[in-house]
Amino acid sequence: MGGAAEYQKILGISEKMLSAAKNGRWDDLAPLEKEYTDAVLANSPDETVSPDLVRSILDNDAKIKELIKARMEDLAGALSSVSQAIKVKKAYR
C-alpha cells in the first residue's frame, strides 16, 4: 500500500475511533488507537496526497481529543465524588 491508500486507511481508522468515542464505546477505542498508531508509523510522507484527506484525518483527531477530554473530566468528577464519600464515611466511624 502506498500514498493515498495509506492515508485512506488512516482516515478509516480515525472514523471508527470517532464513532466509538461519540457513542461512548470507550473499550473499543484502545485497540483502534493502537491500529491507528501502527498505520501512522508505517506511513510514508507523500506530498501528492490530497490536502482534504489530511485535513479530514486531523479534524477527526481533534474531535476525538475533545471527546476524550470531556470523558476524562466526567471520570475525574466521579472519582472526586467517590473520594468525598469515602472521607465522609470515615469521618462518621
In terms of Cβ atoms closer than 10 Å to its own Cβ (0-12, 13-18, 19+), residue 71 is middle
Predicted confidence (pLDDT) at residue 1 exceeds the cutoff of 60 = no
Per the model's pLDDT, the better-predicted residue between 29 and 3 turns out to be 29
Residue 64: its pLDDT value, please?
Answer: 97
Residue 2: its pLDDT value, please?
Answer: 64
Query: In sequence order, what are the residues at sequence separation of 6 or more whose Cβ sits closer than 8 angstroms to the Cβ of residue 41?
Result: none
Could you read off the pLDDT of 4-17 as tens digits, one per residue?
899 999 999 999 99
Q: Which domains does the chain have, with CATH numbers?
A: 4-91 (1.20.58.380)
Could you read off the pLDDT of 12-69 as tens digits, one per residue?
999 999 999 999 999 999 999 999 999 999 988 888 899 999 999 999 999 999 999 9
